[in-house]
Structures are given as structure tokens and as C-alpha cells.
Structure 1
Amino acid sequence: MTDPRFQQAGVAATTYPCGGCGARLEFAPGTTALQCPYCGFRQEITAGDRQIREIPFGELANLARKPVGSIGKYVFACQRCAARTETNETASLCQFCGAPLVIDPAASGQLVPEGVLPFLLDRSAVSTHLKKWTSSRRFAPNALKNVTTAESTKSTYLPHWTYDSQTRSFYTGQRGEYYYVTETHYVNGERRTRQVRRTRWYPARGQVQRAFDDVLVPASTQLPTAEIDKLAPWPLLEAAPYQQQFLAGHFALRYDVEPEAGFEEAKRRMAVVIHDDCEHDIGGDTQRVHSVDTQHANVSFKLMLLPVWVATYVYQGKNWQILVNGRTGEVHGERPWSKVKIAIAVLVALIVVAAIVYLVVANGHSGSSSTHHH
């Protein structure tokens, strides 16, 4: 049960009535319009005057927001049927009438997203990508094919932080240069020589600079970070300034990773690239990097919503998830292994090996018998 201290007051969910039949409009993937799922009525999303901003990191302390841990569930008041829905999501569907629910970002207690990358792939396109992926998973149980059904997939916007930073890094290390020496050894009393590679090490130090742009860090821990990262790259240049209409009829997770913690993760991701820069700067045939001291300047950030189709299915009592990039169709996720299919494959392999051995032995015997005959 939600702690009443952290219970959000009822928030009115924004919905968009259909001009044709009075139902509720939803954002249609691959378009810039809201569409009625019943009568097909369409309404273009008009571009507002908002721009996607890079927010200076130093301004973070002045922005209106509540600590992530103090925000309870949102209580949506559905404008269609007046039912109340409790959820941790900033966009959802009414659990009673199915009407789209989108929170007013100013009432969320969180920072407002700067941009949204709208869904490009609709449900049927995602089903095609899933079917292709599941059919290519050898040794997967037949139940894996069920994830292409409509009921198991949810179009969900995942929050991500992006960070820009001008970095200057001072390093110490060693540059290795190869040289070769001739070694002598004996094989069955016969003298032989060989070339053996050795390395001479020289001290190295220097500095490298790099301007990082839009380093992405998942801002929700609801889905495994490693799997989300595999969906990259994202066409961020195609993002639109945030408007609630893009979320209508879809789900959206709120962030549970604060921007400060996200920047620490971004620095770790930048460090991997900077380490490679240092090695390249050291030169030589091989390198050792002993220390790197990086300074960050002109750091900025923003909150972006990225489109992911989340397919969930149950196999042998366990939940499995598959994620699909809602723009590119890139598919990644968990898959069970079919012990029966693996056992059959092993058995077939053993039969093939046994047959090859039998043929080799049989040919050997026939060869020796014919030699003996002569």
C-alpha cells in the first residue's frame, strides 16, 4: 500500500476527444497526427513554439523538482469515465475504459522532458520485426513465437538523460615499441632459429581533448540498462520538442535516476572513449595508460523520451522481455533455451560424427586389405 505521505493528489489526465465519434484520439506512429482507433478521424499535432534546450548543469539546483524517492503513485482522474487510476507512469491507459491518460508534466513533480522521439513503427511493423527475430533464434522454445501477438507488446517511452561536456584529460603511461631478437633452439638434435618479439617501454605523458555531445544514459531502472543500451544508436536529430500529444495512447515511464547520478554514469561512459584517445595519443606499437585526470567544462543536460516496444511473455513460470527500438526496429532481449531442441541437435551431431568415423575406419580397412592382396 502506498505511504499516504507520498500519495499524489488526483491529477487530471489530458485526453483528446475525437471530432468524429467522441472517443479519444491516440498518437499514430509514423505520423505527426492523433488518430481515432474507432472511426479513423485524424488531427494534426501543431508544432508549438518550444525548442529542445540544452540546460546548463549549473542551473540544476534552481529547477523545480521533487526528489525521486518522495514521489508516490500518480492518481489519474479519467476525463472520459471519471475512474481513478493509480500508476507510476506519466502516460498510461485508463484501466476501466482504456482511454489514453497523459499527465500534465508541470504536475508530475519531475523535470519536464525537453524532447521526444515519436514512435515510427506501429504494432504491425513491430510484429514483423519480432517474428523475424524469434524465427532466427535457434534452440529457442516454440513458445517464443507467441511474443508476436498484439497483447504482449506495449509501446513505451523510456526516459533518458543526455549530456554534453567539453573534456580535457591529462594522462601518464608508457609507449611500447616492438623489436625482434633471434633465438636458437634444437629439435631432435637439429639446430633451428626463430624471431621472437620483445617490447621496449618508454615513459609517456600528455593531454587529450574531446567535445562530447548527447551521451545517453537511461533514466529508468524499470528495464535492464544493458538491454536498453543495445537498442542504440538513436536518431536523436529527428526528435521533436516535447508535447503531450505524442504520448496519447502509449505508456511513458517517469525517471527514477536523478540527473546528478546520470552524469556520474555519463562520465564513466566518456572515460572509455577518453582512454582510447590517450592510447592513440601515446602512439607506438602498444600502450599502457597508468592514470587519467579529466576536467569537465560547459556541461549541459536534457531529458528525452525514446520509443521502445516492450514485449513480455511467460515461459516456465518466468517473465521474459524483448525490447524493440520504436524508430529503427532493432531487437534485443532475453530468450530461453529449449533443452529438447539442444538435446536433439547434440544427438544429430553425434550421429554425424559417428558416421564420419565409421566411413574413415571402413575406408582404412578396405585400403589395407587391398594392399595386402597385392
Structure 2
Amino acid sequence: MTDQSAQQAPVAATTYPCGGCGARLEFAPGATAMQCPYCGFRQEITSNGRQIREIAFADLPTIARKPVGSIGSYVFVCQRCSARTETNETASVCQFCGAPLVIDPAASGQIVPEGVLPFELDRGAVRASVKKWTSSRWFAPSALKKVSDTESLKSTYLPHWTFDSQTVSDYTGQRGEHYYVTESYTDGDGKQQTRQVQRTAWHPARGTVGRAFDDVLVPASEVLPEQKVDDLAPWPLESAAPFQQEYLAGHFALRYDVEPEDGLTEAKKRMAPVITEDCRRDIGGDEQQVHSVNTRYSDVTFKLMLLPVWIASYVYAGRTWQVLVNARTGEVHGERPWSKVKIALAVIAALIVIAVIVILVAGHSGGGSTHRSGSSLHHSTPSSHRHH
């Protein structure tokens, strides 16, 4: 956790004066330019020649940075009104004049982002997405559909680590193959019948699988719940631009509080289910059991990316509900109220359907029994691997 008692010296914040009226420029969602919110003057963002790099994880010790716990609040000095704003964000707005405040990445004490996925949706589009989302919630109170606006909208860049890695995994397990046996039984009328019963023969299996992982995403901030942030995926990372401060102007940006070393540990956890599924496919057969997996990682690279999220809230029944909106795709996830009446009616309806099915089944079964023989299904084991 960040030591709030630690305090940095004031840092200059970059602002962008408007060339039309002298006010301020902000990055315009959906464009490649900054725009004045007052006179509409636009200024295109020109490339600074940077490229998005993949950084070798082995080079991490050589990168200048401060431990997360040693970085205190930043004190921005607004170049427009000279006011000071204390914050833990790397991009904010002046609390007095509203001018955008963007820290010089070199003064943040942290690893500089390699890329940024610029905002695509503006405020109007986000309000429409939230309205559509609230209107389509099943089991939500009917009055929720009448919520027409959001109480607040905050455009925020969330830091994420991405990891690439080559993996080679040795596994042990078992391959299950189905076969069928004939079984005798006495039916409800006391008559002897036969049926086909499935059995599974298990055989030891071992092997090696390989996979290349690309851009495994790990949220680098703990300000918002990890699961809620993960739910916003997928992200069109192929549309990311090399990091430039101009993309942050007029928006907020959280700094990372998850170290890259911890991020890699989490990334490996996210790779594990994919590797296990590769092992299952390699084992083949009708069923698989994976007992052990030993994975070796090589050519591990990482980078810091900033991804755009609208943090929205709406008021219903005297309570504020928070939702997150993917500012590229419009995907919405968040909190919603539940209607007890609608849920109760749905449960009653389900019970009625079950009762009708039970009555119909009972009626059919009273008409006598029939004998049906099962048939055996055979699944071949892939020939590209040998299992012992």
C-alpha cells in the first residue's frame, strides 16, 4: 500500500493552452486531436517518434523506479492559475480552474507507460450506453428504466501490465476411454430388462505441450475491484498508440500500485487454465485427468498500458449505483438493484412449469414401459501424440 505520509516535492503539470481563445485543450474522445471545450479549436496530436516496446523482464532491475510503497501524493502546480492540487493520480484536473493536469512521466517515480488506448466514446455515447444497460436488466425494478441520466461521469485511464511469454509444460495425467457393458435390471412391472451402461477405462498419460502467450492483461491498480475491471475485456490493444501526455489531457489517470513482479505472478495464474486445457487436448480420449503440470517460461516481456474507462454512477431509490464502461467498446458492467416482486413471480412461474412436467411424465409412465438398447460411441485418440 502507498505510504500516505510520504510526500513528494511539487511537480510541474503540463497544460495545453487553446490557440483560439487561450483557455485549455483537452483530448477529444474518438479523435486524434485535442479540442477546446469553449471555442471548439482543435489541435492534432503529432507523433513524437516513440514506438510501443516489449521490455525484457530480465531487464527490469535496470529500470529506474521507486517502490510503490515509497511514493506519496503528487502535488501538481497548475501552470494556468498556479494553484496546487494534491493527488495520487498521474493525470487530473485543477480543482480551482479546471485546467488539465498531466505529470511528466519522468517525474512520477514509476515506469513510464509504453502505450495508451485513447478514449473513443464521449459523454453522450456513455450516457446512451448506461441508459441501454439499465433498461435491459432483467429482474430490475421497472422504474429503473426511467433513469435517464447519470449523476457523474469520470473518464479515467486504468494502468494494466501486459505480459508475453513462451511456455513449455510437462504434464502427467490419465486418458479415459468409454466402453459399454450390458446390464440386467428389473423394471417397475417386475420384468427383466437389459440396458447399455457406460464405463470408462483409464490409462496413464504424460507429454509436453508448448504455447506462446501474447499480451496477457493484468490490472495494475487496486483502486477498482479486479473482477469488475476484467469484465470490461476484451480490449482492442491493436489500436493502442505510443504513449503521449496529450492523450491524458482533460482526463484522469491512475498510477499503478501493483509492482510488475506481482503482475507476472498473476499473469502466470491466468496462463495456467489455458495450459491445462492444452494438456487435456493432448491427452485425448473421451475424458481426461491432469495430475501435474510443470511449466517453464522463457522470453518473458512486459509493458505498461493505459486503458480507457468511464466511471459512471446513477441514482435510484436514494442510493448511488456505480457502473464501469469500456470507453472503446461500450461494454457496461456494474451494480444494479433487484426487484423482489419480479424474482418471486419468476420462481412461482418456474415451479408451475416443473409441476406440469412432473404431471405429464407421470401420465406417460403409467401407460407401460418400453425397452430401448443403447449404442456404443467411439472416439479416436489423436495420432500425433503417444501416451504411456
TM over 0.5: yes
Point out the structure with the larger helix share.
1
Q: What code does the residue aligned with 1:171 have?
A: Y
* Contact 2:114/2:242, CA 8 A, preserved across alignment: yes
CA distance, structure 2, for counterparts of residue 346 and residue 271 of structure 1: 39
How far does residue 83 in structure 1 lie from its aligned partner after superposition? Answer: 1.0
SS at match of 2:336: coil
SS at match of 2:280: helix
- Aligned equivalent of 1:60: 60
TM-score by length of 2: 0.86
Instruction: Count residues with an aligned counterpart.
Output: 354
- Aligned equivalent of 1:214: 215
Q: What code does the residue aligned with 1:104 have?
A: D
- Aligned equivalent of 1:297: 298
TM-score by length of 1: 0.89
CA distance, structure 2, for counterparts of residue 315 and residue 339 of structure 1: 15
CA distance, structure 2, for counterparts of residue 178 and residue 322 of structure 1: 48
Q: What code does the residue aligned with 1:32 have?
A: T
1:301-312 matches, within 5 Å, as 301-312=302-313
* Contact 1:117/1:238, CA 8 A, preserved across alignment: yes
* Contact 1:147/1:153, CA 8 A, preserved across alignment: no
Q: What code does the residue aligned with 1:305 have?
A: L
* Contact 1:130/1:148, CA 8 A, preserved across alignment: no
1:281-360 matches, within 5 Å, as 281-313=282-314, 320-339=321-340, 342=343, 345=345
Question: What residue ranges of structure 2 are gaps of 5+ in the alignment?
Answer: 360-388
CA distance, structure 2, for counterparts of residue 116 and residue 279 of structure 1: 37
- Aligned equivalent of 1:201: 202
CA distance, structure 2, for counterparts of residue 49 and residue 148 of structure 1: 44
Indicate whether 1:119 and 2:119 are aligned.
yes
* Contact 1:147/1:311, CA 8 A, preserved across alignment: no
How far does residue 80 in structure 1 lie from its aligned partner after superposition? Answer: 1.2
SS at match of 2:216: strand
Indicate whether 1:155 and 2:155 are aligned.
yes
* Contact 1:123/1:150, CA 8 A, preserved across alignment: no
How far does residue 142 in structure 1 lie from its aligned partner after superposition? Answer: 6.4
* Contact 1:57/1:300, CA 8 A, preserved across alignment: yes
Q: What code does the residue aligned with 1:229 have?
A: D
CA distance, structure 2, for counterparts of residue 147 and residue 57 of structure 1: 48
Q: After superposition, what is the alpha-carbon deviation per residue over 1:298-324, rounded to whole angstroms, capped at 9, x for unaligned?
A: 000000000111113455676532111
How far does residue 327 in structure 1 lie from its aligned partner after superposition? Answer: 0.6
CA distance, structure 2, for counterparts of residue 145 and residue 245 of structure 1: 37
- Aligned equivalent of 1:44: 44
* Contact 1:322/1:333, CA 8 A, preserved across alignment: yes
CA distance, structure 1, for counterparts of residue 36 and residue 237 of structure 2: 28
Tell me which moved more, 15-24 or 145-154: 145-154
CA distance, structure 2, for counterparts of residue 84 and residue 116 of structure 1: 27
Give the CA RMSD over aligned residues. 2.4
Tell me which moved more, 93-102 or 200-209: 93-102
How far does residue 141 in structure 1 lie from its aligned partner after superposition? Answer: 4.2
CA distance, structure 1, for counterparts of residue 125 and residue 315 of structure 2: 22
Tell me which moved more, 17-26 or 136-145: 136-145
* Contact 1:181/1:195, CA 8 A, preserved across alignment: yes
- Aligned equivalent of 1:180: 180
Q: 1:125 to 1:314 in 2, by over 3 A?
A: closer
CA distance, structure 2, for counterparts of residue 348 and residue 279 of structure 1: 42
Q: 1:141 to 1:13 in 2, by over 3 A?
A: farther
* Contact 1:147/1:312, CA 8 A, preserved across alignment: no
Aligned-residue sequence identity (percent) comes to 73
Question: What residue ranges of structure 1 are gaps of 5+ in the alignment?
Answer: 361-374
- Aligned equivalent of 1:136: 136
Q: What code does the residue aligned with 2:87 have?
A: T
Q: What code does the residue aligned with 1:216 have?
A: L
Tell me which moved more, 274-283 or 328-337: 328-337
Q: What code does the residue aligned with 2:158 have?
A: L
